[in-house]
Structure 1
Amino acid sequence: MLRKMKTDDLDPVVQIWLESNRQAHSFIEADYWEKNKEEVRKMLPHSLIEIAEIEGNIVGFIGMNETKIEGLFVNSNFQSRGIGHSLIEWAKTRNEVLTLYVYQKNQRALKFYLKEGFVIHKQLIDEETGEIEFLMQWKRP
């Protein structure tokens, strides 16, 4: 089930954000994510957040800022079950164009977004991490 984020959801959403980033970005020091956790906690209530829930448990979410996907995170125990696809589809139904950034070394996410119809628009260097990242874009056909 997909639904809008409520105030009570903040702690589990931040925890999924932290754990997912640590798992998907092993090439970045784990303390980088810990250092950014409080800033993310402050920003989340100001973004459009759609929650994926199974049996009353939050298992993932997508964060939007206008047409930019700020993040898509699914608890590792629930990956490869179509939850990420459902969250992307939710975003696609509301927008003609979507953009996002993904690290080049995050091959699982990169393959997922390519499968979802995103294309690499530009290659950049993330100044905070020094890692190569791609600006990806999806346009409604």
Structure 2
Amino acid sequence: MIRKMKPTDIDNIMTVWLTANLEAHPFIDSKYWYQNVSAVRNAILQAEVYCFVDNLDQVNGFIGLQGSYIAGLFVTKHYRSQHIGTTLLNIAKEKHQVLTINVYMKNQAAINFYCHNGFNITKHSDIEAEMTWSKIK
């Protein structure tokens, strides 16, 4: 089930965020993620967040939006490849005409996922790609 974040979800969301980042970004020192936990927690509390929850109401994925910017989309390993990320992304697409996200160039799985879901690389450096989706073609 997908629902809006409740204040009591924040600890589970942070666990999903940290675990997924450590798994998806082995090319970044893990200290970076641990050092940013507090700042990300505060940002999530200010963002528009939609959660995928299991039958026990446990958060197993989420998308965080700051306006039309996707600040993060994460799904736990157990639930990946079950279209949950796409479902979360589609909620954002229903609410916005344009969406952008920054993705690490070394995270080819993420780039492929967003391309598969209609995003295009609009800017890139050696480190990051800015990807954009538009309802208006």
TM over 0.5, shorter chain: yes
What amino acid is the match of 2:14? V
Where does structure 2 lack aligned partners over 5 or more consecutive residues? none
RMSD over aligned CA atoms reads 0.9
Query: Take 1:92 and 1:124, find their aligned partners in 2: how far apart are those partners?
Result: 26
Q: Counterpart in 1 of 2:70?
A: 69
Query: Take 1:25 and 1:96, find their aligned partners in 2: how far apart are those partners?
Result: 29
Q: Counterpart in 2 of 1:115?
A: 116
The TM-score, its normalising length taken from structure 2, stands at: 0.96
Q: Residue deviations 1:71-117, cap 9 Å, x none? A: 00000111000100000000000011000000010011110000000
Deviation at 1:47, TM superposition (A): 0.4
Query: Take 1:47 and 1:124, find their aligned partners in 2: how far apart are those partners?
Result: 26
Deviation at 1:65, TM superposition (A): 0.4
Matched, 1:135 2:130: yes
The TM-score, its normalising length taken from structure 1, stands at: 0.93
Q: Counterpart in 2 of 1:94?
A: 95
Query: Take 1:92 and 1:136, find their aligned partners in 2: how far apart are those partners?
Result: 14
Q: Counterpart in 1 of 2:107?
A: 106
Across the two proteins, how many residue pairs are aligned to each other?
135
Query: % of aligned pairs identical?
Result: 39
Stretches (4+) displaced over 3 A: none
Q: Residue deviations 1:30-68, cap 9 Å, x none? A: 110000001111111100000011212211000000000
Pairwise mapping of residues 20-39 of structure 1 onto structure 2 (< 5 A)?
20-39=20-39
Query: Take 1:124 and 1:52, find their aligned partners in 2: how far apart are those partners?
Result: 32
Instruction: Look up the SS of the partner of 2:64 in the other structure.
Output: strand
